[in-house]
Amino acid sequence: MELPDIVDEIVDWIPSINYNSSNQQLSVFETTIRYLGGMISGYDLLTGPLAHVASNASAVQALLAQSVNLADAMKYTFDTPTGIPHHSLFLNNHSYKDGFDNSIASVGSVQIEWQRLSDLSGNPEYGRLVQKSASYLLNPESEVWPGLLGIKLDFRDGHFTDLAGGWGASADSFYEYLIKMYIYDSSRYKIYRDRWILAADSTMKHLASQSPTKSGLTFLASFWNQTIFQFSGHLNCFAGGNFILGGQVLNRSDYIDFGLKLVDSCHATYNSTLTGLGPEGFGWDSNSVPENQKGFFQRNGFYIRSSYYALRPEVIESYYHAYRATGNEMYRDWAWDAFIALNTTCRAKNGFSAITDINAYGGGKSMNFQESFLFAEVLKYSYMIQKPSQAWDVGHKGKNRYVYNTEAHPV
């Protein structure tokens, strides 16, 4: 938004942070995508197309220095027999708090940030660490279907510990990063592209599932050892945008068309509720419909499994990709409708709050909690879809000069 006073305040404060002093448990994945990704993105933009916005050049340079400091503070997480990282850390005493497994999302969704840090800093260590851990996902010992993996793997030996999966929690951003690493550097990361194609093709073949009560709705099912479960959720709704992005990059109209179907179907989960916002979890298995939702299921093609809304971005994110690919103003309208619903239902005295029930008037109760991804993703995508194209936009003038990490930070 190019607001110099706010940018200066942020970049002047970041150098004062001592990451080694934190005594709170942190997620390596969340810290990477939010903190490390945010600082690296700020550095890339403020030394690139937005260089005119920040007045303190030394503070901008400190964004890179602090990125190095944070990565150095966390890199002991990879000190395991396989190089697969621990999930949770205490930075102040270099300890861990977790078991012996980690999710494919946590292991496979840090490559953009750490590799970009290597490329910016000239220190290859950061990239080597994440490429080694990713090797267990790019060359897996087992697959449920080609390209589709279980969720958990043991960092002691790299073996998968379950056969569950899908495009939802604990798996989602692994599939997202496969095509995005190829966008980041197509000469170095063709294997990521190849693995995304395998996953995309298997998803279209095995996981695409139609609603039995409303034609035209296509959702992505979950699985356990090739047994399909007809439930999904808000997190899965990023997949529409990811298929569209992959289709644009690979010049594959079948991926784009499939992605648009997913976008339309996730829009239906918003358009069918009293608040105009979508549920955390939903299903379409006609044998599992709650008694009090049978009418809702018949009308809308799905039923609500988890009614809360946690200020999630995935649906608006996919609207953004659909608009960038098609130029269809309908997706801008859908994004505006979602923003109005958010502002109407979730606005709090200070900021916004998650709500307990998207299908109750007023959203049920306030959960008195606001995630940082409201700002990083929801409001960002809501803004970018409405404004004229800029250098950092997806497909700007036919090119991707930047790639967005899973927290919507462009690098």
- Cα separation values, 187 from 133, 371, 403, Å: 20, 36, 15
Residues 6+ apart with CB under 8 A from 267: 315, 319, 334
Tell whether the torsion through CA atoms of 128, 130, 135 and 136 is positive or negative. positive
- Cα separation values, 106 from 29, 86, 94, 174, 211, Å: 5, 9, 19, 8, 31
Task: Give the separation between CA 88 and CA 99, rounded to whole angstroms.
Answer: 9
Task: Give the separation between CA 312 and CA 117, rounded to whole angstroms.
Answer: 27
- Catalytic site includes residue 329: no
Count Cβ atoms below 10 Å from residue 287 Cβ, excluding itself: 6
Task: Give the separation between CA 181 and CA 156, rounded to whole angstroms.
Answer: 26
Q: Catalogue the E-assigned strands of 36-140.
A: 88-90, 95-96, 101-103
At 220, the amino acid letter reads L
| Active-site residue identified among 113, 176, 280, 407 | 280
Q: Which of 284, 142, 143 is nearest to 201 (CA)?
A: 143
Q: Which residues are catalytic?
A: 280
